Chain A
């Protein structure tokens, strides 16, 4: 990739295009009304302005004044852009006398072309955004003429070394396949009930990231969150284990959790899954490592209060920057947006342990997107980056038939730790056990676990109990009183 690239002005979009646009080419941006075509163009031009490249906006529809204001509202320097406003003015309507002697295509074409050539010659822009090229269709009497006009106009611009983005308003009645063929790259913007997405289907002379990428339009403009492709990321890391600091728990795990592995903490509500995850983070904080909790269900306050009550100093950890609690609102982010949040933590703030609390919450965020695929990609990425991943999986059943996890995510996990409620002699107790551990052996017995204000207490193996997994265990025949 030794070609020079032109920044698109949107970081995620540059990533999708493997660096940016190739200079001196023409790109087509297509999408329905409100899909963000104009915003994308304004970002592209504002980078040009910042680099002192003459940048020009040619509009056939929206008045220049309105575009300038909208651009300024999202913090872009539209004043320094050159605008060529070919949109009809208000006078056009009041003073216009209709005619039918010639077709409008023949009457309007010449003055429009003249204006275009004049201002292009005067400004000699390096970046041009043209909204919308489909206007040429109305200035040509047939499809052949349209094609010839667009091609010759493109050539006129490209010969001057200009990089052009043009938009098209495609609809069922006016398809734009011809334009897609003529351009060097095709970018689709979609706006559906699931959210906004961007897709590149053609990019001459370079590879690009395929698939749908999440788009967000905010008061700071357009953000693009490239689909996570875990194989693109790799980081060297040592194969250490991360201990919990609770000796019995570490015994159970034969040392702890390895870096670059995914652990599912599975169990019914209130059994202490989050607390156990935080325990690993507490120990990591002692070594000065940073951890992040993505809390989909709890607010930061309750999580902090809860942890403090079992002697996990979350306050102090947050203060020293070794822990972040990030509450995630359901229905607010898409999978790609969430992934980019996580990437930022891992790549820029060097988080070494990431906890997703919980799968059910994550699923809410996905809004019908494929849960397993997205979670898998995210975990794979984190593994490649040497991050220890803890996924909290809440089981709906308090007792009864034993299951490892729900929703078919067990295969993602390198380790599965489960927590259970036990009824022993009419008393609710809790037990912890390990079901699977890929990189080391583990203890096959269960241990009792208790959350006290001094911290997590894990007891000795419950070797005298039978049928623990059923939830109503019985003492073995040789049992002679506890301890």
Chain B
């Protein structure tokens, strides 16, 4: 068991990934960033102690929802990050098992509060 909770971040934009991980690291979380769905699948199979997945759906195709269902099956909590406020995406996210859908840009303090409540610390 790791001392710090491990969060897996998924984003097709490298700069987004970097900023998100920087922020989470500073707040005391360990992170692994991936920018493709293949990588996501690999990490999921290798690292069973992932506590939370943050999934920025921008730049991915519809197969993203299959991954979501896979996460749900593995009982890993995940958050969907959407580039825009959209009812369709929200319904689809929740239907696929997301704990919540967040719209970019994320407010740092709100995000932190949400993660804390999801991880129960």
Residues of A near any B CB (own CB < 8 A): 97-103, 106-107, 141
CB of B13 within 8 A of CB of A102, answer: no
CB of B108 within 8 A of CB of A102, answer: yes
Return chain A residues, CB-CB under 8 Å to B81. 101
CB of B105 within 8 A of CB of A100, answer: yes
Return chain B residues, CB-CB under 8 Å to A98. 13, 15
CB of B15 within 8 A of CB of A102, answer: no
A-B contact sample (15 more), CB < 8 A, given A100-B16, A107-B19: A97-B13, A97-B15, A99-B15, A100-B13, A100-B83, A100-B104, A101-B19, A101-B105, A101-B106, A102-B19, A102-B20, A102-B23, A102-B108, A106-B105, A141-B107
Return chain A residues, CB-CB under 8 Å to B23. 102
CB of B14 within 8 A of CB of A102, answer: no
Closest CB of chain A to B11's CB: distance in Å?
7
The 0/1 profile, CB within 8 Å of A marked 1, for residues 32-66 of chain B is: 00000000000000000000000010100000000
Which residue from chain B places its CB closest to the CB of A106 in the assembled complex? B108
Q: A106-B108, A107-B19 are contacts. A101–B14 as well, Cβ < 8 Å?
A: no
Return chain A residues, CB-CB under 8 Å to B13. 97-101
Which residue from chain A places its CB closest to the CB of B102 in the assembled complex? A101
Closest CB of chain B to A440's CB: distance in Å?
83
Closest CB of chain A to B7's CB: distance in Å?
14
Please report the C-alpha to C-alpha distance between residue A99 and residue B14 in the assembled complex, in whole angstroms. Answer: 8
Please report the C-alpha to C-alpha distance between residue A264 and residue B107 in the assembled complex, in whole angstroms. Answer: 74
Return chain A residues, CB-CB under 8 Å to B11. 101
Closest CB of chain B to A139's CB: distance in Å?
14
B contact residues, total (Cβ < 8 Å)? 17
Please report the C-alpha to C-alpha distance between residue A160 and residue B72 in the assembled complex, in whole angstroms. Answer: 57
Which residue from chain B places its CB closest to the CB of A104 in the assembled complex? B105
Return chain B residues, CB-CB under 8 Å to A106. 105, 107-108
Please report the C-alpha to C-alpha distance between residue A157 and residue B20 in the assembled complex, in whole angstroms. Answer: 32
> Can you report 17 A-B residue pairs in the complex whose CB atoms are below 8 A from each other?
A97-B15, A100-B16, A100-B83, A100-B104, A101-B20, A101-B56, A101-B104, A101-B106, A102-B23, A102-B106, A102-B108, A103-B105, A103-B107, A106-B105, A106-B107, A107-B19, A141-B107
Return chain B residues, CB-CB under 8 Å to A141. 107
Return chain A residues, CB-CB under 8 Å to B106. 101-102
CB within 8 Å of A: which B89-110 residues: 104-108
Return chain A residues, CB-CB under 8 Å to B56. 101
Return chain A residues, CB-CB under 8 Å to B108. 102, 106
Which residue from chain A places its CB closest to the CB of B20 in the assembled complex? A101
Please report the C-alpha to C-alpha distance between residue A100 and residue B84 in the assembled complex, in whole angstroms. Answer: 11
Closest CB of chain A to B94's CB: distance in Å?
21
Which residue from chain A places its CB closest to the CB of B13 in the assembled complex? A99
Return chain B residues, CB-CB under 8 Å to A102. 19-20, 23, 105-106, 108
Please report the C-alpha to C-alpha distance between residue A99 and residue B16 in the assembled complex, in whole angstroms. Answer: 5
Return chain B residues, CB-CB under 8 Å to A101. 11, 13, 16, 19-20, 56, 81, 104-106
Which residue from chain B places its CB closest to the CB of A96 in the assembled complex? B15
The 0/1 profile, CB within 8 Å of A marked 1, for residues 63-88 of chain B is: 00000000000000000010100000
Closest CB of chain B to A142's CB: distance in Å?
11
Closest CB of chain B to A95's CB: distance in Å?
10
Which residue from chain B places its CB closest to the CB of A141 in the assembled complex? B107
Most B CB contacts (10 A, CB to CB) among A97, A100, A107, A141 go to: A100
The 0/1 profile, CB within 8 Å of A marked 1, for residues 1-39 of chain B is: 000000000010111100110010000000000000000
Please report the C-alpha to C-alpha distance between residue A102 and residue B81 in the assembled complex, in whole angstroms. Answer: 11
Return chain B residues, CB-CB under 8 Å to A107. 19
**Top-7 shortest CB links A-B:** A97-B15, A103-B105, A101-B16, A99-B15, A99-B16, A100-B104, A102-B105
Please report the C-alpha to C-alpha distance between residue A127 and residue B23 in the assembled complex, in whole angstroms. Answer: 36
Please report the C-alpha to C-alpha distance between residue A100 and residue B19 in the assembled complex, in whole angstroms. Answer: 10
Return chain A residues, CB-CB under 8 Å to B107. 103, 106, 141
Closest CB of chain B to A261's CB: distance in Å?
73
Please report the C-alpha to C-alpha distance between residue A91 and residue B13 in the assembled complex, in whole angstroms. Answer: 19
Closest CB of chain A to B4's CB: distance in Å?
21
Closest CB of chain A to B35's CB: distance in Å?
12
Which residue from chain A places its CB closest to the CB of B17 in the assembled complex? A101
Return chain A residues, CB-CB under 8 Å to B14. 97
Closest CB of chain A to B81's CB: distance in Å?
7
Return chain B residues, CB-CB under 8 Å to A99. 13, 15-16, 19
Most A CB contacts (10 A, CB to CB) among B11, B14, B105, B106 go to: B105
Please report the C-alpha to C-alpha distance between residue A98 and residue B13 in the assembled complex, in whole angstroms. Answer: 8
Please report the C-alpha to C-alpha distance between residue A141 and residue B83 in the assembled complex, in whole angstroms. Answer: 18
Closest CB of chain A to B111's CB: distance in Å?
8
Closest CB of chain A to B114's CB: distance in Å?
14
Please report the C-alpha to C-alpha distance between residue A99 and residue B11 in the assembled complex, in whole angstroms. Answer: 11
Which residue from chain A places its CB closest to the CB of B111 in the assembled complex? A102
Which residue from chain B places its CB closest to the CB of A107 in the assembled complex? B19
Return chain A residues, CB-CB under 8 Å to B15. 97-99
Please report the C-alpha to C-alpha distance between residue A100 and residue B56 in the assembled complex, in whole angstroms. Answer: 11
